[in-house]
């Protein structure tokens, strides 16, 4: 069973994160230069094999409720017949202020690298209403823009 886990200590980090649009690395296609108002970002932890994942609120308003469900699956030795499932209870935050990041999950490079991990993020706010996002990826997530100011999102469940 995977070691991905919601952190037992609900943690909030204020003003530690700034969006990096990667424009310093020229390439094709050009990086999106929009700044998201909600995004997930990796952060180093005390353990060199563990990466913390945080959700950053850059909406300019407090989020009334943030709920995170973690799940995923893995095949054993790339055999599609053998599947292990991962499911965790939800993690909930209330009143997440602007420019605050909340710790939503941890990824262990040693134990989780073969898992396809899934995050389901639900948010409730006065101006945005209720929004839900789902993303899954093998090998961790990296930096993921969840929602732009114009309402565009690759991960929103409609």
∠ CA 60-5-14, nearest 5°, is 25
State the pLDDT at residue 19. 65
Q: Which domains does the chain have, with CATH numbers?
A: 12-148 (2.60.40)
- CA atoms within 13 A of residue 129's CA, in its CB half-sphere: 5
Residue 76 corresponds to which tokens in the numbers above? 């054993």
Beta carbons of 41 and 146 less than 8 angstroms apart: no
The pTM for the full model equals 0.77
pLDDT: is 77 or 129 the higher one? Answer: 129
For 75, residues 6+ apart whose C-beta sits below 8 A from its C-beta are 82, 83, 114
Q: What is the mean pLDDT of the chain?
A: 79
């Amino acid at each position: 069973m995977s070691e991905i886990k919601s952190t037992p200590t609900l943690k909030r980090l204020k003003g530690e994160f700034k969006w990096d649009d990667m424009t310093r690395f020229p390439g094709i296609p050009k990086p999106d230069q929009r700044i998201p108002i909600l995004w997930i970002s990796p952060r180093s932890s005390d353990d060199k094999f563990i990466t913390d994942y945080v959700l950053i609120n850059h909406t300019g308003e407090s989020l009334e409720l943030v709920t995170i469900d973690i799940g995923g699956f893995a095949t054993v030795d790339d055999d599609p017949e053998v599947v292990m499932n991962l499911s965790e209870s939800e993690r909930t935050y209330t009143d997440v202020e602007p420019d605050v990041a909340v710790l939503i999950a941890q990824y262990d490079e040693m134990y989780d690298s073969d898992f396809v991990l899934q995050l389901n993020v639900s948010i409730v706010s006065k101006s945005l209403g209720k929004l839900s996002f789902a993303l899954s990826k093998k090998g961790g997530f990296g930096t993921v823009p969840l929602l732009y100011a114009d309402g565009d999102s690759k991960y929103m469940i409609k």
